[in-house]
Structure 1
């Protein structure tokens, strides 16, 4: 009997050792994170840097990146568990949380902190004034989206009534705005990089103003996830945030050529000199957030712009829907 008991105990010890070994190996296992980005843009350079420089790998994370082309599709992917994390404008979380989902959407790491569009004029000028837009045709962004809301907010801040002072076109799909402009529609257009720089190089217009500089700090593009993911028992969201913070620091220290060569695989059809120029333009105006922390002042500015545009469903509580603990923790390390 004693031998049976000892044998049983030995089996238990062996089993416990095996389980302990499994737990230890799981800590070192790579966790896959499904990430949905709203579009592919040089505006998101720090994300691609984190992937190419191995910052996610250092955190034992494997990022499976999908471009979902549109805020509605991105949020649908997140809500239906097609993605663990979404990279999209913070306004989309406000729209969703206003519907009181069972698992709220939490903004946990900011990637860009200004609008990313530029005003391009078809005619070159040495002395641009916002008054120059009055009486012209302005090719803006899709109604209800953050670029359009910010664009109209900036126009109003410069004493231009979008409804009265110009011919505002907003019925062209995002993917077709650049081609519509190059085909002759509008004297002015609101464009992201690298399209603005490409058009300038091709002699199709001149960048005369930055909506990012004019609108102030905004949580323009944010990593967000369901509350269960952000506040779960594991530390995946924390490790994700740490990798992003490393990339944010890298982008502000690297040369334009280093940035361009690093993220070039994500932009096959764009010359590296254009990638470099576009990235530096964003960096110089500090569009890339320097830390993942989403400040309350920027959150309030976002809601003010949405309210001005008539698109704010209801005030969204910063303390409830923004998590800064993870970002603050990785910055203190």
Structure 2
């Protein structure tokens, strides 16, 4: 009988980089990577994809119009754009071309990752991909992404976005061994570039409260590192405020303003994310998980876990093992 798998104490793998630690807990998939070629006058209207979408222009120029955004956005070769996925949008050769509905994607995305518009030719070539995120990753982006985040050709992230989309499309279009494994690793890297672009160019301070704003805030960072570094400890508001060199009241208010939740509620949520990550990926006994997260007994841990996710830890582990795409809960 094979020895059970085990893992280090949750939250210790990437200590110090708070965004990386949070990404470590996420399950991200790249769905429907696709290449669009076009020539002449053309315009295609797409429904709201319902998922984070990333577009990169390899050749030519296109105009991106997002529902509710006043002006079309011009994207030239080498540039990219990120859309939250909650609005319809149009891709076109110009801002005033008659629009046609884009054809629906095939039932089997692998059978049709290519799309053509307009006349014969390849004046414009673009790549796009959609990222399917679990709630842990969505928390990073909630309220932080503008309707359109444009990445100019000279930004650090645009070349990486283009390369990752091209690799994703190549894996989807091939029958090479390990293609699904490769896609599974390219998607998180694409999300990293999106987050880097948002922090560098998106003006996060101007957007509503969300986890990304809290993780990127220098004043909250010392307290967050304490919670991430030792999630089992029963941190008090006084200890966390002292680490941030703030009064209890100021710290609690700033944390809630930026993160959207109070500090100790964030700590409880963090523990549940760590528990789900460990249950999905290891055979660590429930008693060890409970102790690593500061719960005095299995029953206390099980009660807290079920309150947060709707499932007992044992049932969650069984469901996650039986269904590879079983979502993170809560």
Same fold per superposition (TM over 0.5): no
TM-score range, shorter chain: under 0.3
What is the TM-score normalised by the length of structure 1? Answer: 0.26
Rg (Cα) greater in structure: 1
Q: Calculate the TM-score normalised by the size of structure 2.
A: 0.26
